[in-house]
A = this chain, B = another copy of it.
Amino acid sequence: MSERFDGRAPDELRTISITPNFTDMPAASVLVRFGRTTVMCTASIDKSVPRWMDKPGNTRGWVTGEYSMLPGATDPRFRREVHRGGLSGRTQEIQRLIGRSLRAVTDLEKLGPRTIYLDCDVLQADGGTRTASITGAYVALALACEKLLAEALIDEVPLNDSVAAISCGIVEGRALLDLPYVEDSAADVDMNVVMTGSGRLIEVQGTGEEATFSRAELNALLDLAEKGIGELTAMQNDVLPERLHFK
């Protein structure tokens, strides 16, 4: 059986790095790399909550995500969305996914009446930008929570579990983990999986790209994702203080 173009085994992640404190102004700033894919994830804390939440007596907070590709992230250059008259459907879909994934492990009551924005700005894109974003944004969220604890603005960790995400897909009949652009664009089936550190599913998005797939193929992809997310969870814990580890 032929090797992948970069020599990886079918169930092998690219080289991953997670660098906290990349910049120092926001509440937290993480630079995450999945191979050449590079995303800056910052967490900013705002003292207000969205208007629809902001009712007398509200004690809950909110967590939301934004996602953007920088123009130099790809070759050819990616035209800024501000010049196209608004966010594309793809960007909005990814933003909604980031926010939903992080909220699935956040105790909004313990967070208290504030909003944490997770901004995922893609400095370089080579496939898997949404899963790198979620994986890095979780670390930024956890570090921002750590900061709130350190400043005694909250007194309990407002998270129930960790979150990580990975892509997988079926390329030329083989189920592969963590697709770079060259594999992603050749995939018949494309799947993104978001899971907690404890192995529960948060989101499964499997899409046939002008193709269809069977239940058995779906299961093979989920097995790959589960393995990859386990490894990402360990790497996230490596850069986080112990009181933010979940089992």
Q: Which residues of A contact B (CB under 8 A)?
A: 23-27, 29, 36, 38, 40, 42-44, 46, 66, 68, 70-77, 80-82, 85-90, 92-93, 95-96, 100, 103-104, 117, 119, 121, 123-126, 161, 196, 200-215, 218, 222
**Inter-chain contacts of A124 with B (CB < 8 A):** 23-25
Q: Does A212 lie within 8 Å of B206, measured CB to CB? A: no
Q: Does A87 lie within 8 Å of B85, measured CB to CB? A: no
Given contacts A203-B207, A212-B200, contact A117 B85 (CB under 8 A): no
Q: Does A70 lie within 8 Å of B25, measured CB to CB? A: no
A126 to chain B, nearest CB (A): 8
Cβ-defined partner of A82 (8 Å) among B44, B46, B82? B82
Complex copy number for this chain: 6
A95 and chain B: residue at smallest CB distance: B89
Q: Does B204 lie within 8 Å of A40, measured CB to CB? A: no
Complex CA gap A235/B82 in Å reads 33
**Inter-chain contacts of A210 with B (CB < 8 A):** 103-104
